[in-house]
Amino acid sequence: MKKVLKEVTDFFTEFVKPPYKITAVQPTDQGWDVVVEVIEEKEYMKAYAKDQMVGVYHAKLNKDMEVESYNRRSLRSRSSIDLNNE
């Protein structure tokens, strides 16, 4: 599981934004499903004294632990609670 977490962290840091939290990791027949939260537009929100926005992403890794796909599932205020986290 450490390899999955490292691969996801490295991928998101390089191509999206550094992960804020990894909230779910689940093995599948094809590899792994991972739910990742990242802080979106941190400086913009800070400049206007607004709550930070958190993007909730779903990533799929293959059996070789390579990220094959990802997409943003939702966007919410950091202070809100996401009850629909998949």
- pTM here? 0.80
Choose among 47, 7, 40: nearest CA to 25: 7
Choose among 69, 74, 71: nearest CA to 54: 74
Q: Residue 47 belongs to what domain range?
A: 2-76
| Rounded Cα gap, residues 76 and 47, in angstroms | 18
User: Does residue 26 fall inside a structural domain?
Assistant: yes
User: Does residue 33 fall inside a structural domain?
Assistant: yes
User: Does residue 81 fall inside a structural domain?
Assistant: no
Predicted confidence pLDDT, tens digits, the chain (86 residues): 899 999 999 999 999 999 999 999 999 999 999 999 999 876 655 665 567 789 999 999 999 999 999 999 998 877 776 555 54
Number of compact structural domains in the chain:
1
| Rounded Cα gap, residues 28 and 13, in angstroms | 24
| Rounded Cα gap, residues 27 and 55, in angstroms | 22
